[in-house]
Amino acid sequence: MNHLFEEASYVLEKIEENGYKAYFVGGCVRDYCLNRPIKDIDIASSAKPEAIQKIFPKTIPVGIEHGTVIVRHNHVSYEVTTFRKEDKYEDYRRPSKVWFVSELEEDLSRRDFTCNAMAMDRNFKLIDPFQGREDLKKHQIRTVGDPDKRFSEDPLRLMRAFRFKSVYSMAIETNTEAAIITHSALLKKISTERITAEFIKLLAGEQAGDALARMKSCGIFPYLPYPLEEKNKGTFLSFNWNTLKSEEQRWAAVIVLSKVEDAREFLKKWKLPNRVIHSVLDILSAFHIEHWTRMDLYRSGLNTALSGLLLKCLVYSESYREQAFNLKQLAAGIPIASREDIPLNGEEVLRIKQAAPGVWVGQLFKEMEEAIVEGTLSLSEQEINDWVRRWEQK
């Protein structure tokens, strides 16, 4: 038995001991059926949050108004949510009222796709009223119920369909895809953060290229936070996304393969954190460097340089190994990683020069750093002291 489920069984057992029903639901059941690693375990239960809080000594009230409490057991979190059914979607987007019903099937019926609408009891018996298992076997993504209705209720599901297609190498079922095409413009109503979160997962999936190509043909591209356009037809599809190792590399690839004029603007439109924006822009700078000097490499850092190189090799179908080896060799010859590694501080410089502090100290360190990186000055104390003595402001 999967170790995670074994631990989680205790939680189900405890809830049942108190007279309620409880099941594993959603992503963990899907991943279990697919024999994939389980990330986190979600539980649906007939118990209300207050009851769950009474049963377990350690709980975190993360979303009581949605019926969700986190149960901590053996240092692991389990999201326990009361069976839910939403009433009519008045504005076709947001549930106007949520009430709790003691029925698993109704809970499952409000989930997005059949593969996500399965439950499992603690004896691993599958409860699968919408034939999710069958769809998984067919590698098919299908909405639970009428696709037009389901996409209108929550257009984020449009993005989720492509995310699951990419991550699980599935095809989108014909009627589901037809509804996606009909409702593509509804994506405008969804917050950028939610779209971005799904898109990041899509890019990391094993079939990102297929998913992107399909998104394009379904007319989704114009409604993304920054409308996507391929630079050349078919580049998203044929690009080897799987070779990329980080989110930042993937964003850099999207930019290089698309008609993006201002990369910073593009990344801001997707509301990415500044940390990510900076890394992507650094990778793009590295991507554009043709001949690396020691100083280029010192400034960008080896990892960023290798990311830029990897992207370049994928875009222009060049071989990575030899060029990466050369970059690593070049990096190995650079004796310092940052100014901190220079074995001399400002005070010592002032003492050697017998001079008052001023902007010249910064200038001296900048030139010394360059000399060390270029290899014209070694790290020996004697040599550095002599170099400082000889240094004159230009």
- The residue among 195 and 253 lying less far from Mg ion, judged by its C-beta, is 195
Q: From the CA atom positions of the chain, what is the Rg in Å?
A: 28
Cα 177 to Cα 370: distance, rounded to the nearest angstrom: 57
- The residue among 27 and 301 lying less far from ligand ATP, judged by its C-beta, is 27
HSE, side-chain direction, 13 A CA sphere, residue 144: 24
Amino acid at 114: T
Q: Does 216 bind ligand ATP (CB under 6 A)?
A: no
Q: For the beta carbon of residue 218, count every other beta carbon within 10 angstroms.
A: 20
Residue 112 contact, options ligand ATP, Mg ion, none, Cβ 5-8 Å cut-off depending on partner type? ligand ATP
The size of the interface with Mg ion (CB under 5 A), counted in residues, is 1
Find the shortest distance in angstroms from Cβ 357 to Mg ion. 56
Where does residue 74 fall: left (phi above 0), alpha (psi -120 to 50 degrees), or beta otherwise? left
Q: Does 219 bind Mg ion (CB under 5 A)?
A: no
Find the shortest distance in angstroms from Cβ 188 to Mg ion. 25
Cα 388 to Cα 369: distance, rounded to the nearest angstrom: 12
Burial of residue 127 (number of CB atoms within 10 Å: 0-12, 13-18, 19+): middle
Q: Does 118 bind ligand ATP (CB under 6 A)?
A: no
The size of the interface with ligand ATP (CB under 6 A), counted in residues, is 11
- The residue among 26 and 67 lying less far from ligand ATP, judged by its C-beta, is 26
Q: Does 112 bind ligand ATP (CB under 6 A)?
A: yes
Select the residue interacting with ligand ATP from 39, 137, 149, 259 (CB under 6 A). Answer: 39
Select the residue interacting with ligand ATP from 12, 80, 156, 257 (CB under 6 A). Answer: 156
Q: Does 157 bind ligand ATP (CB under 6 A)?
A: yes
Residue 154 contact, options Mg ion, ligand ATP, none, Cβ 5-8 Å cut-off depending on partner type? ligand ATP
Residue 157 contact, options ligand ATP, Mg ion, none, Cβ 5-8 Å cut-off depending on partner type? ligand ATP
Find the shortest distance in angstroms from Cβ 31 to ligand ATP. 7
Find the shortest distance in angstroms from Cβ 216 to Mg ion. 27
Residue 156 contact, options ligand ATP, Mg ion, none, Cβ 5-8 Å cut-off depending on partner type? ligand ATP
Question: Which residue, 354, 342, 340, 347, is CA-closest to 381?
Answer: 342
Cα 318 to Cα 323: distance, rounded to the nearest angstrom: 9
Cα 34 to Cα 118: distance, rounded to the nearest angstrom: 12
Select the residue interacting with ligand ATP from 11, 22, 26, 184 (CB under 6 A). Answer: 26
Residue 207 contact, options Mg ion, ligand ATP, none, Cβ 5-8 Å cut-off depending on partner type? none
C-alpha distances (whole Å) from 58 to each of 70, 72, 74 are 8, 5, 10
Select the residue interacting with Mg ion from 4, 9, 14, 27 (CB under 5 A). Answer: 27
- The residue among 168 and 239 lying less far from ligand ATP, judged by its C-beta, is 168
Question: Which residue, 347, 346, 351, 337, is CA-closest to 379?
Answer: 337
DSSP state of 230: B
Amino acid at 64: I
Q: Which residue is nearest to Mg ion (CB)?
A: 27
- The residue among 63 and 234 lying less far from Mg ion, judged by its C-beta, is 63
**x-marked contacts with ligand ATP along 72-111 as a string, rule CB under 6 A:** ---------------------------------------x
Q: Are 320 and 313 in contact (CB under 8 A)?
A: yes
Cα 89 to Cα 254: distance, rounded to the nearest angstrom: 35
Q: Residue 380 contacts by C-beta under 8 Å, 6 or more apart in sequence?
A: none
Whose structure tokens read 């439950």?
Answer: 119
C-alpha angle 241-242-244 in degrees, rounded to nearest 5: 75
Q: Which residue is nearest to ligand ATP (CB)?
A: 27
Contact stretch for ligand ATP (CB under 6 A) within 151-159, 294-302, 362-370, 384-392: 151-159
Select the residue interacting with ligand ATP from 45, 68, 82, 116 (CB under 6 A). Answer: 116
Q: Residue 77 contacts by C-beta under 8 Å, 6 or more apart in sequence?
A: 40, 60, 70, 71
Binding residues vs Mg ion (CB under 5 A): 27
Residues near ligand ATP (CB under 6 A) are 26-27, 39, 42, 111-112, 116-117, 154, 156-157
